[in-house]
Amino acid sequence: MTMQIDLTCYVYGLGAWGPGFANWGDLQAQLLDPARIPADLTAPPPKAEVIPGNERRRAPPVVRAAVEVSAQATQAAGVGLGDLACVFGSGLGDTEITDYMCTQLATPEKQLSPTRFHNSVHNAPAGYWTIATHCMRSANSIAAYNQTAGISLMEAATQARQEQVPVLVTLYDLCARGIYSNVYTVDQDFAAALVISPSLLAHPPLAKLTMKLAPSACAEPAWAPSFAHLCANNPAARVLPLLHGLALPAPQAEASLELAAGIFLKILIEK
């Protein structure tokens, strides 16, 4: 059964950071042409310059990665930062801080750093982002493991449509630390962001997205094996089929993101 749902929106900005790419331009080129993928796949450190210097030094790596791609996407979008609602999604959250806290709490002294404790909340990236951009809109913070990408996009699109606001949706997952590395296969860092708007703005969008619920997924994109690996092992990177569709030069493409077992958000991408 395929169900029409009213989640049409327009993409106005994209940001990306991950193994071998520092921005959307790099990622787009590599998605389309495997020859552009560098031999060295280590991710360059995220700049996250939108956060003031002393705050940035305190910001954990997941925050810097999420804020970096958010800044890229919003710069490209030409939307006032204070006008954007935001949805941040991560399958693992910050396992580096969890590892730190649980290690400390296993010692007799159980001393925690107050800054690292308040940074440990899943909504730390949303908090740092809204503080840095003076944004007072709704900020959501989502965990849905391997459905995080699909659920986050759906959350952003429902909010954009129903509350008539542009929405930033940012996905991030970094390599698992501590005992979490025995549980998760995430072995590469990845973050990406999209700015979506429920209606057309003064300037042309990058693409129009029309969504429906479908019982099956689209075929996996024809891309390099390194992207198949990233997509399979990093919950945030499960947004890559959508990014691949957005990277394609064709006027129309289709991509799907999983919402639940046997329920997919099927997205028609029109440029």
Residue 262 near another protein by CB under 8 A: yes
Please provide residue 145's backbone torsions phi and psi, each rounded to the nearest 5 degrees: 40, -120
Are 128 and 51 spatial neighbours (Cβ–Cβ below 8 Å)?
yes
Question: Rounded CA gap, 238 and 123, in Å?
Answer: 20
Q: How far is the CB of 265 from another protein (least distance, A)?
A: 9
Asked if 69 contacts 112 with a C-beta cutoff of 8 angstroms, the reply is: no
CB-based contact 149:168 (threshold 8 Å): no
CB neighbour list of residue 198: distance below 8 Å, 6 or more residues apart:
8, 9, 10, 160, 161, 164, 165, 166
Closest distance to another protein from the beta carbon of 83 (Å): 8
Residue 66 in contact with another protein, rule: CB under 8 A: no
State which of residues 141, 170, 188, 197 lies at the interface with another protein (CB under 8 A).
141
Report how far apart, in Å, the C-alpha atoms of 125 and of each of 33, 41, 89, 148, 202 are: 32, 24, 10, 15, 29
Complex with another protein: residue 163 or 270, whichever CB lies closer: 163
Rounded Cα distance, 22 and 12, in Å: 19
Residue 268 near another protein by CB under 8 A: no
**Cβ at position 237, least distance to another protein in Å:** 17
Q: Which of 70, 72, 159, 170 binds another protein (CB under 8 A)?
A: 159
Strands (E), 32-104: 85-89
Give the shortest CB-170-to-another protein separation in angstroms. 14
Residues 6+ apart with CB under 8 A from 169: 86, 87, 88, 89, 152, 153, 155, 156, 193, 194, 195, 196
Q: Does 234 bind another protein (CB under 8 A)?
A: no
Residues 69-98 that bind another protein (CB under 8 A): 83, 90-93, 98
- Regarding 233 and contact with another protein (CB under 8 A), the answer is no
Q: How far apart are CB 201 and another protein at their closest, in Å?
A: 15
* Residue number, 115 or 252, with CB nearest to another protein: 115
Q: Does 149 bind another protein (CB under 8 A)?
A: no
Q: Does 170 bind another protein (CB under 8 A)?
A: no
* Residue 213, H or E segment: strand 207-214
Nearer to another protein among residue 24 and residue 264 (C-beta): 264
CB 131 to another protein: min, Å: 6
Q: Which is nearer to another protein, 92 or 196 (CB)?
A: 92
**Sites for another protein among residues 180-219 (CB under 8 A):** 180, 182-184, 213
